Amino acid sequence: MTNKEAIEFIKTDISRLWDTPQNLEHKEALEKAIEALSEQRTGHWKRISMDKYVQHAMAYYRCSECGKDIIGEHNYCPNCGAKMAESEDKE
């Protein structure tokens, strides 16, 4: 299944939900997910700190797109879904 097919499937599912308060929250979440998939945003990680008190020091990074702080670097931001280029301050 391609991303485009998945988006169309989710849109069809949204239209089947009844307008109850709980379903309205699900509709909003699904619409935001569709928007994130459709946008194809690109960002980068900015290193913000290092936890010096952990045996295996963990680096904290901030997403340039949504501003969320994450432990470690990932290919995509787990918060906003932006695809990540190289971090701006590599060691």
Confidence band, pLDDT 50/70/90 cuts, at residue 91: very low
At 19-59, the pLDDT tens digits run: 777 777 777 777 777 776 776 778 888 888 765 555 556 78
User: How far is CA 12 from its chain centroid?
Assistant: 23
pTM, rounded to two decimals: 0.49
For residues 73-78, average pLDDT: 85
Amino acid 53: pLDDT: 56
| R_g of the chain, CA atoms, integer Å | 17
What six digits make up the tokens of 49?
A: 């700190």
For residues 6-20, average pLDDT: 75
Listed residue (57, 64, 66) closest to 43, CA to CA: 64
Amino acid 57: pLDDT: 60
For residues 77-88, average pLDDT: 77
Q: Where are the domains of the chain?
A: 3-39, 42-84
Q: Which residues of 34-53 are buried (b: 16+ CB within 10 A; e: fewer)?
A: beeeeeebebbbeeeeeeee
